[in-house]
Structure 1
Amino acid sequence: MTEEVELPPQLQEQLGRLQQLQQTLQAVITQKQQLEIEASETDKAISELDKVTDQTSVYKSVGSLLIKSDRQTLLTELKERKELLGTRITVLGRQEERTKERIKELQEKLQEKLRPTSSAS
């Protein structure tokens, strides 16, 4: 026989907030991973461009088209993109840590409130 316990509205609200924070954390982690993959691909592209001369024909992808460009322009664009990605990854990393801290704090508060109080006799 299990007893169903009705949680007070305040605890229900905190549980809802905890679930929201966990979803936010998952979204931040996913976004950060996607940016890290893009940064890795950008690094590979820079590495490949470093292997060729300025006279080599190079193209950049614009939508479904490949547009001829010059090596130096592409290198500059890719390095700027890499820097921007690095900044965004750093910001998301900080947001991830703050969210983890908030989750931990809220979990501790909830555990404390849900702990049965022992009455001293």
Structure 2
Amino acid sequence: MDSIPPKVQNQLAMLQQMQQQLQTIVSQKAQYEMTVREAKRAVEDLGDVAEDANVYMSVGTVMMQQSKEKVLASLNEKIENLELRIKSLEKQEKTLQGRFEQLSAQVKGALEGQQPPGAS
């Protein structure tokens, strides 16, 4: 590591940071996608429920009786908000992935340019 120039060492540190950020984004996106799937399943299940049936919704740590219409509206709003967040995370992921690949190529080029001739 001593033979690597400080600039390249900084770039390697940045690559590690970017990789961690990418992992965080991918993890958040997966969580949101799972929540969207669950909410969509709940909407489907509510389609089979009679309009006047007792429907309960979790509000914090309490279950409250709500109209089917209110629960559906709440679920659909939740789905919409999460899908917007997912799109935002996808944009961030794409941008960060591009920067990561660009910086990775720079570091690779710098390291390859440092190797003595004939070394691989």
Structure 2 equivalent of residue 106 of structure 1 = 103
Structure 2 equivalent of residue 60 of structure 1 = 57
Structure 2 equivalent of residue 76 of structure 1 = 73
Q: Which runs of 4+ in 1 moved over 4 A?
A: none
Structure 2 equivalent of residue 20 of structure 1 = 17
Q: Which runs of 5+ in 1 are unaligned?
A: none
Give the share of equivalent positions with the same residue, in percent.
Answer: 33
When the two structures are superposed, what TM-score results if normalisation uses the length of structure 2? 0.91
When the two structures are superposed, what TM-score results if normalisation uses the length of structure 1? 0.90
- Measured after TM superposition, the shift of residue 117 of structure 1 is 6.5
Q: Aligned residues, how many?
A: 116
Q: CA RMSD in A?
A: 1.5
- Measured after TM superposition, the shift of residue 63 of structure 1 is 2.2
Worse-matched range after superposition: 26-35 or 56-65: 56-65
CA distance in 2, matches of 1:53, 1:80: 21
CA distance in 1, matches of 2:43, 2:84: 18
- Measured after TM superposition, the shift of residue 54 of structure 1 is 1.4
Question: What are the within-5 Å matches in structure 2 for residues 88-103 of structure 1?
Answer: 88-103=85-100
